[in-house]
Amino acid sequence: MEPLKVLHIIGGGEFGGAERHILNLCGALDTKAVEITVCCLFNEPFAKIAARAGIRCLVLPMRHKADFSVAGKLAALIRNNGFDLVHTHGVRANLLGRLAARQAGKRKVITTVHSFLEMDYPGFFYRLGNSLVERLTRSLTDHFITVSKGLKDKLVSQGVPEDKITVIYNGIVLEEFNPVRNAANTRRKYGLDASAPLVGVVARLHPVKGHRFFLEAAREVLQQRPDVRFLVIGDGPLRPSLEELAAQLGIAGQVIFTGFVEDIPALMSELDLLVISSLWEGFGLTAVEAMALGVPVVSSEAGGLPEVVRHGETGLLVPPANVTALARGIIWMLDHPEAVAEMTKRASVAVLENFTAAVMARRTEELYRRLAGWRRP
């Protein structure tokens, strides 16, 4: 029997959680059962990354943000290649993919909801426009995948029937999270004392990631633990203002902004503690990655994060935007190594059971087969 043919549509103008999700999914799916093609709406960077990973990928570039002509090109692509399902990711891809599937003869459409629009797009008019487009075309999606129960609840509250939503957690490729640790090199690179505890945050420098609260908590931690050093791993437009804030707080000498880091697992593995200070997360993939590496996690209790980090069992949860609670959580984790060691053991088991690419791929294939009315021979 021929494999199911599925077209994934995504903007691809950045390399974030949705793009990593597709990479991991494609790598774990059984190619004899599911044949994936990825279509990007922007030339780079994701199209090149996907091609290097051996994924069949093509680009139908949008000339501007309202370039609806791409929908006709997508419809022709769907018809000419006989795709059974269309799977969309992100506002533009959702709109164009839904319209194209209709033009192509009502191919079934799956939409994965990776995040909460209102948090991803802080500008009022931009957010309003995207939300309006999403709600007007949402009925053209046959089934939704959400990466957390929190996102499912949000869709239900907006009128999407519960039986049209399946929760499938993001999964990681475990082999990528077993780097050779080299703490001496890491500390030497950043000019750190060999015994200094390293506390880090790994995220793009965006308001929703709550870096301001991380820095303010760092100041409180340093009042009790002056030996601790802090790494801000990642880059983005907020970097100058965050560096200025660190200086204003008097902690610039204890905080290192690494900028863009290509090998995140290698650097993350050297941390003594990972902090997630986000105001919202659709899921919490960074937490999963840290747990797989055996790095303890203190996380804000926001969005889908409590589904990943179980308070007191696999990490600590604190209220979002609460600087004092975050600082206390960091200090507690640094001061209780035996309890933390037990947490990291339980966290590793949780990753194996719930958050691997293999589990994600199996559940996704089951959904594909059900929607397409296709059964394995």
Q: Please provide the DSSP assignment of 215-226 as one string.
A: HHHHHHHHHH-T
Q: How high is the pLDDT of residue 95?
A: 93
pLDDT digits (tens, 9 = 90+) for 208-253: 999 999 999 999 999 999 999 999 999 988 999 999 999 999 999 9
pLDDT above 90 for 118: no
* Closest residue by Cα to residue 272 from 361, 318, 337, 352: 337
At residue 38, the pLDDT reads 97
Other CB atoms within a 10 A radius of the CB of residue 242 amount to 18
Per-residue pLDDT, averaged over 301-318, amounts to 96
Judged against a pLDDT cut of 80, whether residue 116 lies above it is answered with no
pLDDT grade, residue 9 (50/70/90)?
very high
Higher pLDDT, 281 or 329: 329
Q: Do 4-171+356-372 and 174-354 show the same overall fold?
A: yes
Does residue 125 have a pLDDT over 60? no
Alpha-carbon span 165 to 142, nearest angstrom: 9
Cross-strand pairs, 59: 40
**181 secondary structure, DSSP code:** P
pLDDT-wise least confident of 115-124, 178-187, 349-358: 115-124
pLDDT at 128 over 80: no
pLDDT in tens, 168-194: 999 999 988 876 665 567 778 888 888
62/241: higher pLDDT: 241
CA 216 – CA 219 distance, rounded (Å) = 5
Weakest mean pLDDT among 46-50, 249-253, 293-297, 338-342:
46-50
Between 310 and 236, the higher pLDDT residue: 310
* Statement: residue 341 has pLDDT above 60: yes
Q: What is the pLDDT of residues 246-279, one digit of tens each?
A: 999 999 999 999 998 878 888 999 999 999 999 9
Side chain identity at 366, as an amino acid letter?
E
Tell me the CA distances in angstroms from 327 to 44, 239, 244, one per residue in order.
Answer: 39, 22, 20
Give the pLDDT mean for 76-95.
94
Task: Look at residue 355 and tell me whether its pLDDT is greater than 70.
Answer: yes
CATH of 174-354, picked from 2.40.50.140, 3.40.50.2000, 1.10.10.10, 3.40.50.10540, is 3.40.50.2000
When pLDDT is cut at 50, 70 and 90, the band that residue 377 belongs to is very low
Question: Quick one: DSSP state of residue 268?
Answer: H
Percent of the chain residues topping a pLDDT of 70: 93
Q: Please give the average per-residue pLDDT across 9-21, as a whole number.
A: 87
Neighbour count for residue 135 (Cβ, 10 Å): 12
The whole-number pLDDT of residue 252 equals 97
* 300 pLDDT above the threshold of 60: yes
| Alpha-carbon distances of 359 from 151, 168, 292, rounded to whole Å | 19, 9, 15
Residue 360: CB partners within 8 Å, gap ≥ 6? 24, 25, 28, 168, 169, 170, 171
Is the pLDDT score of 280 beyond 80? Answer: yes
Residue 165, beta-bridge partner list: 144
Do residues 283 and 308 lie in contact, with contact meaning Cβ atoms separated by under 8 Å? yes
What 3-state DSSP class applies to 274?
strand
Query: In angstroms, rounded to a whole number, what is the distance separating the alpha carbons of residues 77 and 334?
Result: 54
Instruction: Evaluate if residue 361 carries a pLDDT over 70.
Output: yes
CA distance 320 to 215: 14
Nearest CA-CA partner of 200 in 310, 316, 286, 308: 286
Q: Where are the domains of the chain?
A: 4-171+356-372, 174-354
Segment among 111-120, 136-145, 273-282, 367-376 with least mean pLDDT: 111-120
Task: Please give the C-alpha separations between residue 374 and each of 2, 4, 349, in angstroms, as whole numbers.
Answer: 10, 8, 33
Q: What pLDDT shows up at residue 117? A: 61
Is the pLDDT at 305 greater than 80? The verdict is: yes
Give how far the C-alpha of residue 150 lies from the chain's centroid of Cα atoms, to the nearest Å. Answer: 14
CATH topology of domain 4-171+356-372: Rossmann fold (3.40.50)
Read off φ and ψ for residue 81, nearest 5 degrees: -105, -5
* Residue 119: pLDDT over 60: no
pLDDT at 123 over 70: no
pLDDT at 375 over 90: no
